[in-house]
A = this chain, B = another copy of it.
Amino acid sequence: MAHYISDVNITRVLRTVWLNRGLSRIDISRRLDLNKSTVSKIVGYLEELSLVEPAAVGDAGPAGGRRPIHLQIKADWGCVMGVEIQTEAFTVVGINLHGDVFFSHTEPLDLRTHDLVDSFVDIVHRFRPSLERTGMPVIGIGVGLPGFVDPVRGVLKASMPFEQYTEVNFVAGAQEQLDLSAPILVDNDANCGCWGELAFKHSTRPENFLFVLGELRKHTIEMDDYRIMALGMGLVLNGKVHHGTGHSAGEFRSILYRAGTVNQFSISDIEARRFLQDSQVDEMIIDELARHIAFLINALNLGKVVIGGPMEVLADELIAAIREHTQQNWAYPTMVDCQIGVSRLGEQAVAYGAAGMFLEHLIRVPSVQVDGELQTPCGVQLLPRRGTDLPV
């Protein structure tokens, strides 16, 4: 039983500085509708924790007055490891609290022959020293996996790419072997793409957007291995990453899908495997995909679409097709207002987003729930349980 508002306002201040680097105490007090003395006290506390520091002294306004002290998060307070694990490779990145990537590594890894949790434990053991050589401790790890993930329980519920149809207790299993104080967070890979867009888009956080993630995956068709594109979607709705009632949101299969094929469209697998090699196939896939994305843009009134993965090669055509179909699919005379672009992070989008997800959870305002407890995925907690050490 401990529900002091303090935690809430401390986090509000911290998060506000994080999202808007360079604000002064007065700016914060105005934004958050808190008294400036309250902000002063909270900032003092955060400075004591080395989470916030003065960045620069600004200029006085035209009418004079004391010069404001711009504040910022201490970037090197700690770092976050972001990991993406796919069927044939994994990626690790290290970022500081400002979101700067200071480490990045990609390597092949065959998940068909290796255990998922064991592989992850290996990765952490191998790369934690690399990150901590900077002097920053690893304060948390974010992981992006293909499949249905329950981030609150830290569980991989199912995954077609991993051929996993029973639950894997990912976080608990890893923590057992790792003996690591840093908490671990997991989410679906496409959702991690969303987290990456959310975490550091400070001023212009998109409220409703779609992250389209394509991966080329091996499939065995008639005794031969082929690569077929598998599409996953990550959705942010009302500013929040959407998981759905059973954590399976983001699955894609065309409305015109015909039973029996491995690919997600209305074409045959024979056609599908010629993707990126046969421009006619490319065109068909682009058109069909663009229609579905356009439908979602209009039905959900999305403000933004980001394309990641191998689709990036055909991004120009895809973007044009989406634009065309959104407008065709729109009944009103106005123009549909939706930015469509390609992920700037390329290969690292998911791993980076996974790390961003961790920071998003760390530096967040605990929401007051009405019924039941507030759900924190896997005990992420920033502020120390405050006892006697509170600065008045």
Across-interface contacts of A3 in B (CB, < 8 A):
5, 9, 33-34
Which residues of chain B are near A9, meaning CB under 8 Å? Answer: 3
Bound Cα distance from A32 to B370, whole angstroms: 7
- CB pair A33–B373 under 8 Å, yes or no, is yes
Q: How many positions in chain A have a CB within 8 Å of any CB in the partner chain? A: 68
Give which listed residue, B16, B242, B296, B371, contacts A371 with CB less than 8 A.
B16
State which of A93-101, A247-255, A347-355, A379-387 sits at the interface with chain B: A247-255
With contacts A240-B238, A257-B328, A301-B244 taken as known, whether A370 is within 8 angstroms of B251 at the C-beta atoms is no
User: What is the CB-to-nearest-CB distance from A88 to chain B, in angstroms, rounded to a whole number?
Assistant: 20
B160 in contact with A248 (CB, 8 Å): no
- Does A8 sit within 8 A of B, measured CB to CB? yes
Q: Separation in Å of the A138 CB from the closest CB of chain B?
A: 26
**Chain B residues in 8 Å Cβ range of A328:** 257, 259
* Central interface residue in A240, A337, A370, by most chain B CB within 10 Å: A370
| CB of A43 within 8 Å of the partner chain | no
Q: Mark A228-272, 1 if CB is under 8 A from B, else 0.
A: 000001010110101111111111110111010000100000000
Complex formed: what's the CA distance from A373 to B158 in Å?
A: 40
Name the one of B5, B160, B245, B372 contacting A5, with C-beta atoms under 8 angstroms.
B5
Nearest residue (CB) in B for A290 is B255
Q: Which residues of B contact A152 (CB under 8 A)?
A: none
Q: Is the CB of B257 within 8 A of A368?
A: no
How far apart sit A296 and B371, CA to CA, in the bound complex (Å)?
28
Q: Which of B250, B257, B294, B332 has a CB less than 8 Å from the CB of A299?
A: B250
Report yes or no: A301 in contact with B243, Cβ–Cβ below 8 A.
yes
26 contacts between A and B (CB under 8 A): A1-B34, A1-B35, A12-B368, A12-B370, A15-B370, A16-B371, A19-B371, A31-B371, A32-B371, A33-B373, A237-B237, A237-B238, A237-B242, A243-B301, A244-B302, A245-B303, A246-B303, A247-B301, A248-B301, A248-B332, A249-B300, A250-B299, A253-B298, A253-B330, A292-B295, A365-B368
A208 at the B interface (CB under 8 A):
yes
Q: Which residues of B contact A246 (CB under 8 A)?
A: 301, 303, 337
Does residue A207 face the partner (Cβ distance < 8 Å to B)? yes
Interface code A345-370, partner B: CB below 8 Å = 1, 0 otherwise?
Answer: 00000000000000000000101101
CA distance A15 to B160 in the complex (A): 41
Task: State whether A251 touches B20 (Cβ < 8 A).
Answer: no
Q: Are A165 and B12 in contact (CB under 8 A)?
A: no
Contact A251 B372 (CB under 8 A): no
